[in-house]
Structure 1
């Protein structure tokens, strides 16, 4: 059996412990490379991301949507990422995630 997800659940930093071992999507700001992982700021929390290839370089903040698998140690093993525009509204996104994982979950996930 292969480890290919059907979908990546969108979560925020407060939900990381609940989704360990699952495929997720996190949105945040790339902070810095630490050798075999990068630090990624999600909702004020630092998430360590491994297996991320060709990290973009820029003089301004790099905003990313990263899809991957959350390991039991809390590291996110990246499968793919998308660079976001600088106008991305993190507060609005966080509110949407609360609704997607809460009262409207059945509209988005089985």
Structure 2
């Protein structure tokens, strides 16, 4: 339920070339910022999914847990706000693009 409406499906689309480049940039940014971060992996589903299904996997490998956890948290926000991935909610009152985190714009 979102804004009082049932969501039936989430459709993820991507500008793949830009998104792959951005994932690589994010990975390098995090490794520079968090000195104990050894590696970082980002995987995002680009497909039609049902609400509640897993769509994003971010894995951080670190010498200590603090840097790995902090890098994963920051990466999540960067993926949500700085990549070429868009989400369309198909719900009981129409179809809405989800932009800038939680803003919904009705699909024309």
TM-score class, shorter: under 0.3
Question: As a proportion of its length, which structure holds more helix?
Answer: 2
Larger radius of gyration: 2
Q: Which of 1 and 2 has higher RCO (CA within 8 Å, sep 6+)?
A: 2
TM-score, length basis structure 1:
0.24
